[in-house]
A and B are shown apart, each in its own frame.
Chain A
Amino acid sequence: MSDYSLFGDTQIAPNCGKTVKQGGGAEKPFDDQRAPKISLRNVHKSFKGRKVLDDISMDIMPGESHVVIGLSGAGKSVLIKCILGLLRPDSGTILINGEDWFDMSIEERLRRMPCIGVLFQGAALFDSMCVWENVAFVLLQQSMPRVDARKQAEQMLEMVGLPGIGDKMPAELSGGMKKRVGLARAICHRPEIVFYDEPLAGLDPVMSDVITILLKRLHETMNVTSLTIAHNMKLVQAFSDQVSMLYEGKIYAQVSAQELQETKDPLIRQFVEGRAEGPIRFGFESEMSGQPDANDKGEAT
């Protein structure tokens, strides 16, 4: 497995165009380490009258690994899409590096985008490009010579444990390989903030463990700020500094991974332990127990 130091000592942080020295260098990519990298204030988002995000506020500090958990349909993906600017919130403020991207022109937002890397749930690799072109996409768009871009992409692929597959097409890869290529693409341009949208979805337990280890290693070596959407509690335990639980569009709890394991809150316990029985109701419990269901609206008691 490659070491991240293979990138050399000096990089242009693509994010804000500032020079960043690594290794012995002292300069940091973002000047204020006490200011949140991502800050949400009173964010609301509804679809056809249904509140999906309801007054969401949270701060993600530099270097923090923040994991968002919650039931399917709780609004996790909408949250990440709002932060990425793919959906505009109905109200509220979202700041990335202290800036509201929704106030900017498209060109300005695109100029700032390289400070972000995203691993999509289905990897979202471009079918028409081979693997290395996918991984080096941002570098190629930034007019890096193809030879250099390929070299960097191959290093990234080696880093995620997939050396020598640069010339393959995405259709030739398994689900786990696609995920790892997606991961290589997300970090190839050295982003400051990385978003992982359900990185273990659809993977077998072994591949889930591989990806968990990779994410942890990347987080430690690159010192990025990350926001992860996850259902897998093993990943949450291994990877999170802070955990937010979304429930019915609101942040139900914001705790550390340790607190998440120790909490007595029945709703969180039900989610963490993955039980059908508990305060979160799905409407079929009465059939299971043979008793009339007093609360079949899917609401917490």
Chain B
Amino acid sequence: MLILQSIGAATERLAHAFGLYPLMMAKVLARMRKPPWFFALIIRQCEKVGVQSLPVALLTAVFTGMVMALQSWVAFHRFGAESMIATVVSLSILRELGPVLVGLMVAGRVGASFAAELGTMRVSEQIDALWTLSTDPVRYLVMPRLIAVIVMMPLLVVLADAVGMFGGYVISVHVLDQNPHTYLRNSFEYLQLIDFYSGLLKAAVFGFIIGLVSCAEGYYCAGGAAGVGQATTRAVVISAMSILIADYILTAWIFQ
């Protein structure tokens, strides 16, 4: 009986948690058709999401590119196919590592920030105050954040892709003594546009996931400081897990 009750309670909590996201999505969609759009807030959020996340995203990308080059060299050296390192590095970064790692970094940095910020506003009645000051909190707080993260994620990924490939180039040419011209030629020769576009599509979808999950968790937060902490943790964990699941689904769909 106790087990059944626990399962019931867990299911209820799960349904409640996942019910938040469609609810928030419906609220956002209902408001998309009409102004005000709060462009100044969107720009400010773009700066927070994009510019301020740049160091983290680029650092992650450059080291990932470097590690990829090293690991690929170890594997390809065994059967004399070192020339393929460039292709593997660029394909992996463009298709998978760029969008996924930037997504995870942004989920940790921006998602946590969104959830904590909105959660604090909720428990300190600032969201209620917005409503009483004739301002729709979903329009004012959620939509600019959601739009900003959807727009900025692909831009971050483009830069991360470039920096990641550069990291691979530096290690291959300067540490592993690869020919720079051959490396560059091999980096691009086997690439197709779909490799690049698929990464951008993934980035936008991951941005949407991060924005929706984090904003919903913060917006519907309850329970004081402890509630804000829990909402922030949930925002990061659910965003990260959702990114990985969505990555598989998108990959299977795009490259089937």
Contact = CB atoms under 8 A, between A and B. Distances in A.
A113 B134 contact: yes
Contacts of A195: 132
A117 B126 CA distance: 14
Interface in A87-131: 106-107, 110-111, 113-114, 116-118, 120-122, 124-127
B129 interface: yes
A120 B129 contact: yes
A163 to B, nearest CB: 23
Contacts, number: 52
A141 interface: yes
A114 B128 CA distance: 14
B136 A141 contact: no
A14 to B, nearest CB: 8
B52 to A, nearest CB: 15
A141 B131 CA distance: 12
A84 interface: yes
B135 interface: yes
B1 interface: no
Given A106-B136, A110-B136, A124 B126 contact: yes
B71 interface: no
A85 interface: yes
A60 interface: no
Contact of A138 (B121, B124, B134, B136): B134
B133 interface: yes
A81 B133 contact: no
A109 to B, nearest CB: 9
A247 interface: no
A124 B128 contact: yes
A118 B135 CA distance: 13
A141 B139 CA distance: 12
A124 B135 contact: no
A26 interface: no
B125 A85 contact: no
A264 B105 CA distance: 66
A196 to B, nearest CB: 12
Contact of A124 (B34, B124, B134, B136): B124
Contacts of B124: 122, 124
B134 A84 contact: no
Interface string A127-171: 100000000011001100000000000000000000000000000
Contacts of B125: 120-122, 124
Interface string A69-90: 0000000000001001110000
A178 to B, nearest CB: 11
B49 to A, nearest CB: 15
B131 A124 contact: no
A141 B137 CA distance: 13
Contacts of B129: 118, 120, 124, 126
B135 A141 contact: yes
Nearest to A112: B134
Nearest to A113: B134
Interface in A186-226: 195
A126 B135 CA distance: 13
A86 B131 contact: yes
A120 B134 contact: no
B189 to A, nearest CB: 49
A86 B124 CA distance: 14
Contact of B134 (A114, A127, A185): A114
A18 B142 CA distance: 32
- Most chain B CB inside 10 Å of its own CB: which residue of A86, A107, A124: A124
B139 to A, nearest CB: 9
B134 A86 contact: no
A142 B132 CA distance: 14
B5 to A, nearest CB: 16
Interface string B133-148: 1111000000000000
A126 B124 CA distance: 10
Contacts of B131: 84-86, 113
Contacts of B134: 14, 110-111, 113-114, 138, 141-142
13 contacts: A81-B128, A84-B132, A106-B136, A110-B134, A110-B136, A113-B133, A116-B132, A118-B129, A121-B125, A124-B124, A124-B129, A126-B121, A138-B133
Given A113-B134, A127-B126, A141-B135, 16 more contacts: A14-B134, A84-B131, A86-B131, A86-B132, A106-B136, A110-B136, A113-B131, A113-B132, A116-B132, A117-B132, A118-B128, A124-B126, A124-B129, A126-B129, A138-B134, A141-B134
